[in-house]
Amino acid sequence: MPNRGNGKDIILQAFHWNLVKTQGDGTIDGRDMSWYRILTESADRIASCGFTIIYLPPPWRDDSAWESNGKHGGGEGYYWHDFDLNSRYGTKEELKELILAMHSRGIKAIVDLVTNHRDGNRMQKDIWEYPGECWAKGGTDSGGSFFDGRFDLSLSNPRVNKRIKEAMNELMDECGVDGWRWDYVWGYEVNEVVNWIKSTHKEEYFSVGEYWQDSPFMTNDPMVKRYGADEGARILGWARESNGCAFDIILKRCIQSADARNLKFGLIAKSSAEDRAALVTFVDNHDMGASPYSPANGWGQQCWPCPPHFKSRAYAFILSMPGTPCVYWPDCFDWGHEAEIKELIRLRKKAGITSSSEWIDLTGNYYGFAGIILNEKKEEALAVSINSNFTAAPENWETGYEKKGEYTVWINKKFI
């Protein structure tokens, strides 16, 4: 069975890069409360926005640390060193309470699994002796290298494989986790993911991989070997082979152009219904976007942030179009887009838009982006105009939400 939810899910990425910068206990500079506890207390607010899946940070203990030019960081979970669930984000018990709170409100929980993203210069007290059979150095590696590959794990090694399976079962059986966000998936073979999922005691609800690698020259990338230079083919190939989803990085590239005309070139706009259902769309995340300011680390990673003036337009697009939309926590709850995002989600649900929905491309007749999105019954349900002169006929459509000079979303009057 594909691990792609019910086709009507909306994900909240419930963390950002600057949450754990104290180099000690606690979360967020100066706040004496764990992030898990903060999320638990925010459960009603999260549910009221209409989210159906909450995507949580890496759950394992990470004692990594760095300092540079007066800034410091570490502990974010991406350089974990063992499988202890008492992390900088909170305790194992707090994680269980958080997921229970979400489940009681009809929200599933997925966690970020970081299986081969390691740096021996940052990590401390690693669970496996180095070098040795558990590492690519001295063992084998099934995928592309992280940095120079010196600290890549040998994921097919029986010891490593068994321990990861045990950790996944602990998260599902004891904590209630419903699925996974797979970090850095071009760094290992997709079969590793499939085998881990098959081995868990419970059935995953949702699984999504981060295939973010545009170079066709990474010859140790398994997807390049199988799908060649076409980045979109590699992304969709990973989703098909894993029976899960993959992030629509092609759409992210279109969003980065800040040109509404380019939005129709995202994978979700030009793929088959089956492939659209396997794509997760997003505007920013912890790596690419900014994070709320921290004295320890400024505005966060900002590897590829969405142009600020285009952010609302981008959310109007992903929350109206097919695919499974993923909203970044700071955009919703820190930077003033909560009411807008909440209303766009309400319209999506009322209109019955799904991850595999079809759409009618009107861009050939108008400037900017213009389209009509069909619901699961093949009815014209939402109409969208982004930086466009398209206007839906008032006898059939009612304005659902708009930002003057940016976008308008209409809903078919039959669904009001």
**Mean of the pLDDT values across residues 229-243?**
96
Amino acid sitting at position 282:
F
Long-range contacts of 153-156 (CB under 8 A, 24+ apart): 153/115, 153/116, 153/118, 153/128, 155/115, 155/116, 155/188, 155/189, 155/192, 156/189, 156/192
Would you say residue 233 has pLDDT above 70?
A: yes
CA angle 13, 14, 20 (to 5 degrees): 125
**Mean of the pLDDT values across residues 102-121?**
93
pLDDT band at residue 187 under the 50/70/90 scheme: confident
pLDDT band at residue 247 under the 50/70/90 scheme: very high
Would you say residue 26 has pLDDT above 60?
A: no
- Global pTM reads 0.96
393 compared with 132, residue with greater pLDDT: 393
* Rounded Cα gap, residues 118 and 150, in angstroms: 9
Share of the chain above pLDDT 90, in %: 78
234-246 exposure pattern, b = at least 16 Cβ within 10 A, e = fewer:
bbbbbbebbbbbb
* Rounded Cα gap, residues 345 and 337, in angstroms: 12
Burial class (CB in 10 A: 0-12, 13-18, 19+), 94: buried
Would you say residue 23 has pLDDT above 70?
A: no
pLDDT band at residue 22 under the 50/70/90 scheme: low
Q: What's the pLDDT tens digit per position in 351-404? A: 999 999 999 999 999 999 999 999 999 999 999 999 999 999 999 999 999 999
For position 31, what pLDDT does the model report?
75
Residues 138 and 131: beta-carbon distance below 8 Å: yes
Burial class (CB in 10 A: 0-12, 13-18, 19+), 247: buried
pLDDT band at residue 138 under the 50/70/90 scheme: low
* Rounded Cα gap, residues 78 and 335, in angstroms: 25
The kind and range of the H/E element at 383 are strand 380-386
Strands (E), 17-143: 53-56, 66-68, 71-73, 108-113
Would you say residue 276 has pLDDT above 70?
A: yes
Would you say residue 103 has pLDDT above 90?
A: yes
Residues 353 and 375: beta-carbon distance below 8 Å: yes
Q: Residue 268 corresponds to which tokens in the numbers above?
A: 């979700």
**Mean of the pLDDT values across residues 35-59?**
97
Please report how many Cα atoms fall inside a 13 Å half-sphere around the Cα of residue 362, on the Cβ side.
19
* Rounded Cα gap, residues 312 and 277, in angstroms: 23
* Rounded Cα gap, residues 362 and 365, in angstroms: 6
Q: Residue 55 corresponds to which tokens in the numbers above?
A: 């995507």
Distance of CA 365 to the CA centre of its chain: 33
**Domains of the chain from N-terminus onward:** 11-356 (3.20.20.80)
Q: What's the pLDDT tens digit per position in 156-186? A: 889 999 999 999 999 999 999 999 999 999 8
**Mean of the pLDDT values across residues 68-95?**
91
Average per-residue pLDDT for the chain: 93
**Mean of the pLDDT values across residues 330-334?**
97
For position 38, what pLDDT does the model report?
94
* Rounded Cα gap, residues 163 and 41, in angstroms: 32
* C-alpha to C-alpha distances, 153 to 96, 146, 159, 163, 382, nearest whole angstrom: 28, 10, 11, 12, 47
**Mean of the pLDDT values across residues 101-112?**
98
Q: What's the pLDDT tens digit per position in 297-314? A: 899 999 999 999 999 999
Q: Which residues pair with 4 in a beta bridge?
A: 206
**What three-state secondary structure class fits 128?**
coil
